[in-house]
Amino acid sequence: MYAILDIETTGGKYNEEGITEIAIYKYDGHTIVDQFISLINPEREIQPFVVNLTGINSSMLRNAPKFYEIAKRIVEITTDCILVAHNAQFDYRILCTEFRRLGFEYERRTLCTVELSKQLIPGQTSYSLGKLVRSLGIPVADRHRATGDAQATVKLFKMLIDKDSSKTIIQNAIRLDPKYQLEPKHIDIIEELPSITGVYYIHKSDGEIIYIGKSKNIKRRINQHFTSTNHKSKKIQQLVSAVTYEATGSELVALLKESEEIKRNKPIFNRALRRTIFTHALYSFKDDNNYINLKIDVADGRKNPITTFSTRQSGKSFITKAIEDYNLCQKLTGLYKTKTSCFNYDIKMCNGACIQKETPELYNKRIELLIDKNSYANKNMVIIDKGRDVDERSAILIKNGIFQGLGFFNLNYQINNIEVLESIITPMRNNRDTQHIIQSYLRKNNRIKKLIF
């Protein structure tokens, strides 16, 4: 099964682009069996040359769904499919980038109609989609729009399959399914592993830990390590002798344990994770008019951030959502640089703090609500999450804004005071990474139980 798609983007710096439109046609090799087409609000500026090329502008996208609202549909329609696109590397990279911003690793196999056309239709003066389909007599409407380009790619792909007399495309597609043949020792290791949430440790024959990771499905994740063809995975496949694991039930517990274990053991294939896992932070300051301003900036160890982010873009996305949720001013949150009123004030979606029409007292109350929700500075609280069994829960203890450690308790065991809780907690180191992990997890899991004391 194939998912033939085209994506239009905002343009801009590499890996900072956003999707403005997507069209996906699910194709069984004979007919289109499903389709998904949508404009998307990219939550960022569209480059002027892109507006001229596609005709898509910000006003068209104001009420369009954001990527997180249609992500599930994209996953569903492309499951068990090979992604087909004209310059597939670009479309696949953009999709993976958008999913990564949501904390989801999107993995699909791909076929590129540019590469296939060069193999099966050599000698063309150009392999750009517009010139290629025109030279082949394939009609195309709405050029540089996702629907028109995706439909043209469907027709081109049908022609390529017809021209593929040796059936190379089909054979390659079939070969892509079992990407990599598992060795017997890898099969034995995978069979012994459970499909649970936890931390896993990959060992060499002498017992040395060479990689530590966490997963919501340990068996599936180790299978990915053993079937991937990237350089790191191949080295792990050669050296692995055993895999041990520790069940956590809670993904938050797994993230915290993974971070601590990597810092303590320093495995050779975890070099990237030994460094700080966040790059940007949210800071606040009062301006000359006594309004609390927010700013996303490069993380600075000398300052106390409200919360932290893995990328600048994830910080910007947080601010964009906060503006909607708390009715904040675009100018005072650093998203709209102007000496006068912000854009939202002009369309009556801002109360006018940008031009001192709303009092600092009223505006700052909403800012303080946001800060209180997203920072645990000076707070005493327990985060209650899943345990390793149905009758168990995990507890993450924070005292005076400092992460103390974590533990597990049985549901029949009532925790009614801090002394009882501290007795079941395993102490762990508090650092900027643990703060980032906890804050990021709480942002993404609004319904998680928190006990303030």
189-203 pLDDT per residue, tens: 999 999 999 999 999
As a whole number, mean pLDDT of residues 158-174 equals 68
CA torsion, ordered 172, 173, 174, 180, to nearest 10 deg: 80
3-state SS, residue 362? helix
Cα(2)–Cα(199) distance, integer angstroms: 34
Q: What is the pLDDT of residue 380?
A: 85
Cα(351)–Cα(329) distance, integer angstroms: 8
Cα(128)–Cα(141) distance, integer angstroms: 15
Q: What average pLDDT does the structure give for the chain?
A: 87
Residue matched to tokens 């009882």: 420
Per-residue model confidence as pLDDT tens digits over 384-424: 999 998 889 999 999 888 899 998 988 776 666 677 777 78
Q: What is the pLDDT of residue 274?
A: 47
Cα(252)–Cα(382) distance, integer angstroms: 13
As a whole number, mean pLDDT of residues 440-453 equals 83
Cα(200)–Cα(39) distance, integer angstroms: 40
Does the structure show a pLDDT above 60 at 180?
no
Per-residue model confidence as pLDDT tens digits over 208-265: 899 999 999 999 999 989 988 788 888 999 999 999 999 999 999 999 999 988 988 8
Does the structure show a pLDDT above 90 at 425?
no
Q: What is the pLDDT of residue 123?
A: 87
Contact call for residues 267 and 258 (beta carbons, < 8 A): no
Q: Give me the DSSP letters along 93-133.
A: HHHHHHHHHTT-----EEEEHHHHHHHHSTT-S--SHHHHH
Question: Which residues contact residue 110 at a Cβ distance below 8 angstroms, ignoring those fewer than 6 apart?
Answer: 82, 83, 84, 85, 88, 89, 92
Taking CB atoms within 8 Å and a gap of at least 24, the contacts of 184-191 are: 185/240, 185/241, 186/226, 186/237, 186/240, 189/222, 189/226, 189/240, 189/242, 189/243, 190/219, 190/222, 190/223, 190/226
Which one is predicted more confidently, 302 or 169? Answer: 302
Q: What is the pLDDT of residue 176?
A: 46
Contact call for residues 335 and 293 (beta carbons, < 8 A): no
- Token duo for residue 237: 């496949």
Cα(315)–Cα(318) distance, integer angstroms: 5
pTM over 0.75: no
Terminal Cα-to-Cα distance of the chain (whole angstroms): 54
Cross-strand partners of 377: none
Does the structure show a pLDDT above 70 at 49?
yes
**Listed ranges 45-49, 103-107, 143-147, 242-246; the one with the highest mean pLDDT:** 242-246
As a whole number, mean pLDDT of residues 63-85 equals 92
Q: What is the pLDDT of residue 84?
A: 92
Cα(426)–Cα(433) distance, integer angstroms: 18
275 DSSP 8-state letter = S
As a whole number, mean pLDDT of residues 7-25 equals 89
Q: What is the pLDDT of residue 213?
A: 94
Percentage of the chain exceeding pLDDT 90: 44
Does the structure show a pLDDT above 80 at 333?
yes
Percentage of the chain exceeding pLDDT 70: 94
